[in-house]
């Protein structure tokens, strides 16, 4: 077999549909576009989100619109009751929290929340504290240190 003898199988090739060349081929008068209307005209069609002039879905749903702050800081959160696993007088830092698996990312700032109780004194270092967490740590005889420089 030679290269010039290769041919596609029978029925694989079709002739191009020539519209608007008279009624003899069945694609004359309206050229397969029906009668009048926006889709019968020349030029680009309508986009796929067009709803015929009806208010589009993206404008009907308020949850899709709104404002996203570029300066939002996302914190890793730790609750007070989970700090009870450390020995008394321990210095609890974001690195220690990451090593023990209490926070997932060491790149995000840490915020301590006031859920639960602390039963003994700890020195807690974090980027932010809720007021109730601060009060509970101080009431247990511990210390609170805010790390402020690392938050953008």
| Domain coordinates in residue numbering, the chain | 76-146
Q: What is the pLDDT of residues 102-152, one digit of tens each?
A: 999 999 999 999 999 999 999 999 999 999 999 999 999 999 999 975 444
pTM of the entire predicted model:
0.56
8 A C-beta contact, residue 20 and residue 40? no
Instruction: Return the beta strands (E) in the chain as ranges.
Output: 76-79, 91-92, 110-113, 123-126, 128-129, 143-146
Task: Give the number of C-alpha atoms closer than 13 A to the C-alpha of residue 46, restricted to the C-beta side.
Answer: 11
Angle among Cα 29, 34, 38 to the nearest 5 degrees reads 115
Give me the pLDDT at residue 149, please: 55
CATH of domain 76-146: 3.100.10.10
């Amino acid at each position: 077999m030679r290269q010039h003898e290769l041919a596609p199988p029978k029925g694989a090739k079709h002739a191009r549909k020539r519209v608007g060349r008279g009624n003899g081929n069945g694609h004359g008068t309206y050229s397969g576009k029906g009668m009048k209307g926006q889709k019968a005209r020349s030029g680009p069609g309508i986009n796929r989100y067009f709803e015929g002039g009806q208010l589009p879905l993206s404008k009907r749903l308020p949850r899709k619109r709104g404002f996203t702050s570029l300066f939002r800081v996302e914190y890793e959160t730790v609750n007070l009751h989970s700090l009870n696993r450390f020995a008394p007088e321990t210095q609890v830092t974001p690195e220690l929290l990451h090593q023990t698996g209490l926070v997932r990312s060491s790149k995000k700032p840490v915020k301590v929340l006031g859920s639960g109780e602390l039963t003994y004194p700890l020195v807690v270092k974090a980027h932010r504290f809720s007021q109730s967490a601060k009060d509970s740590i101080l009431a247990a005889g511990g210390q609170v240190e805010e790390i402020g420089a690392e938050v953008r």
